[in-house]
Amino acid sequence: MEDGAKDVDPVAVYSGKTARLRLRRPRAAAEKHRVAVGSRNVVLSTRNPLIVWLAKHELTLSFVVILCVRLSHWLGLAWAHPWLHIEHARGTRYVRGPHDLWFVVNWIFQIIAARAVMLHHVLPLVPRYFGVRNARSCRRFGETGWFLCYILLSWSIGFGIWRDSPYYMNTRGMYVDYPEDHVLMPYGLKWYYLVQTAFWISNIYTIFVEERRKDHVEMLTHHVVTIALVLLSYHFHFTRFGHVFMLVMDFPDIFLSAAKLIRYLGNEMLPNILFGLFTVSWVATKHYLCIKMMLSIWTEGIVEVPLEKRYPLCPDSYASYPIVGFMWAILCVLQTVLIYWFVMILKVLEKVLVKGEDAEDSRSDDEDNDDDSQQP
């Protein structure tokens, strides 16, 4: 080969629109795949036909299901009622029951539809307004913006329910009068629990229709463990503990998502401040408070749930060493993932404090972190 050609990368992409040759390193094993969704492009890390089809039709499919349910309910068909309303009432409170499944399924479709509208039609207008032309930054802005919108809304609702509860700022209250008073849930608590279940299940779908990131396996593990904890705590009547635990876990993500959004818009100083607040809140909630709650199971929970109210001596009780120990093991798996992420956060802090670089969350960068071409 001649000297003039030896430096040309065989994996080169020619952009006819801008008449330039862009050199790229070879792709990883999971090759990116662009899918047109309306006027936007979605970058997938798979060519799986089912995932590609879902990514292209998620909004249409969700709207069709939602419309069918609403129309059936309007026509008075009984099957649609549990899709739209909390059921299994006992006076002014509610118990868990089989119809809860349909309420969760309905909310999964509603969340997917809301995400699709925000991601592809609403949130992209913001970076365009601020002059951001990079396609990857606009994509990431939409994904992060949707997550922030949901977390802010759900956390605010969950906090309001917690503030009016008998276990507000009181870990001992999470175990008092178990199981009798825990089997019966206020409407707000049951609604919050089922919607949160739908959100985390929808996130399993989401991570496969978004661009694959470096911590894909850890993120998938986190989602699976979270869903397991939510479902088990709901089944075992440990909803008070699960309610507070979700609030504790979600709080730091508000700061991180806000930092990412502002960074995608080109600001460098404010994201560094928000990342510092995120780090402090991460340690305070996901480690200190989380571990404190885990320990309270063996300190306060044992005291407040006497032997005669434990499984199998008491009806509706699931308080036993095997069951609680199993859930505690799942919490330990979740804490392991959080520690792994915290190590990565410390590396970012080292870049900021020691090397003077800007804060950039490396946990969720793309596996192939090359910049996309500018938008037209």
d(CA 350, CA 346): 6
- Mean pLDDT, residues 234-248: 95
**Percentage of residues in the chain having pLDDT higher than 70:** 81
pLDDT score recorded for residue 35: 59
Minimum mean pLDDT range among 31-35, 67-71, 228-232, 306-310: 31-35
pLDDT score recorded for residue 147: 95
- Mean pLDDT, residues 234-246: 95
Query: Per the structure block, which two tokens stand in for 341?
Result: 């992420």
The SS3 of residue 15 is strand
pLDDT score recorded for residue 28: 43
Q: What is the pTM of this model?
A: 0.85
d(CA 354, CA 362): 17
Q: Is residue 204 scored above 60 in pLDDT?
A: yes
**Per-residue confidence at 198, pLDDT binned at 50, 70, 90?**
very high
pLDDT score recorded for residue 18: 39
Query: Nearest-CA neighbor of 294 among 243, 332, 341?
Result: 332
pLDDT score recorded for residue 351: 76
The overall average pLDDT reported for the chain is 84
Minimum mean pLDDT range among 82-96, 111-125, 190-204, 207-221: 207-221
Q: 3-state DSSP helix/strand/coil percent for the chain, to nearest 5? A: 65, 5, 30
- How far CA 274 is from CA of 19, 259, 262, 277, 283, in Å, comes to 40, 5, 10, 5, 14
Q: Is residue 236 scored above 70 in pLDDT?
A: yes
Q: Is residue 363 scored above 80 in pLDDT?
A: no
d(CA 33, CA 228): 31
Q: Is residue 72 scored above 50 in pLDDT?
A: yes
Q: Is residue 245 scored above 90 in pLDDT?
A: yes
- How far CA 62 is from CA of 84, 116, 171, 174, in Å, comes to 15, 9, 39, 37
The SS3 of residue 22 is strand
pLDDT score recorded for residue 111: 97
**Per-residue confidence at 46, pLDDT binned at 50, 70, 90?**
low
d(CA 243, CA 248): 9
Phi, psi angles (nearest 5°) of residue 182: -95, -25
pLDDT score recorded for residue 311: 83
**Per-residue confidence at 373, pLDDT binned at 50, 70, 90?**
very low
Better-predicted residue by pLDDT, 222 or 135: 222
Better-predicted residue by pLDDT, 364 or 341: 341
HSE of 81, CA atoms in CB hemisphere, 13 A: 6
Q: How far is CA 203 from the centre of its chain?
A: 6
Give the number of other Cβ atoms within 10 Å of residue 117's Cβ.
15
**Per-residue confidence at 51, pLDDT binned at 50, 70, 90?**
confident
Query: Nearest-CA neighbor of 209 among 145, 115, 118, 104?
Result: 115
pLDDT score recorded for residue 27: 44
**Per-residue confidence at 29, pLDDT binned at 50, 70, 90?**
very low
- Mean pLDDT, residues 195-202: 96
**Percentage of residues in the chain having pLDDT higher than 90:** 56
pLDDT score recorded for residue 310: 86
pLDDT score recorded for residue 360: 60
